[in-house]
């Protein structure tokens, strides 16, 4: 049973380009969470999704960032017109029902904006 799969593991984008980060949750998990980790900092919540629905996006910047979790396929975190400040590790986590039992995390995508 594969864990949470994130790709790519590393992503380099020039300022102004778009970044698309993918996350496939564990089999049977319908809850997906995205977190951002800046250097030397902890994880900051961005968005919580269930299939085809955004449940909580209170941690996501209002502009340039969007997330989806379609009926078929992985969850996508999309960052448009990236800036240097977007450089961070982005982690996806999934859970079966809710976060009460703890998440299963992916290995993260390290985004570097040059």
Partner 1 sequence: AQTVTQSQPEMSVQEAETVTLSCTYDTSESDYYLFWYKQPPSRQMILVIRQEAYKQQNATENRFSVNFQKAAKSFSLKISDSQLGDAAMYFCAYRGVKTSYDKVIFGPGTSLSVIP
CA 64 – CA 68 distance, rounded (Å)? 14
**Exposure string over 26-36, b if 16+ CB within 10 A, otherwise e:** beebebbbbbb
- 48-77: which residues touch partner 1 (CB under 8 A)? 48, 55-56, 58-59
Residue 43 or 76 with smaller CB distance to partner 1: 43
Number of residues this chain uses to bind partner 1 (CB under 8 A): 27
> What pairing do the DSSP bridges indicate for beta strands 88-95 and 31-37?
antiparallel
The stretch among 14-22, 64-72, 77-85, 94-102 that binds partner 1 (CB under 8 A) is 94-102
Q: 112: closest CA among 55, 62, 39?
A: 39
Residues that bind partner 1 (CB under 8 A): 31, 33, 35, 41-45, 48, 55-56, 58-59, 89, 91, 93, 98-105, 107-108, 110
């Amino acid at each position: 049973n594969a864990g949470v799969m994130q790709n790519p593991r590393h992503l380099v984008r020039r300022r102004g380009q778009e970044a698309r980060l993918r996350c496939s949750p564990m089999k049977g998990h319908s809850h997906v969470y995205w977190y951002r980790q800046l250097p030397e900092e902890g994880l900051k919540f961005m968005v919580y999704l269930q299939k085809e629905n955004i449940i909580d996006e209170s941690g996501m910047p209002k502009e340039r960032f969007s997330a989806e979790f379609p009926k078929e396929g992985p969850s996508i975190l999309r960052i448009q017109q990236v800036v240097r400040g977007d450089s961070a590790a982005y982690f996806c986590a999934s859970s079966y029902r809710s976060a009460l039992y703890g998440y299963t995390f992916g290995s993260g995508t390290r985004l570097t904006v040059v």
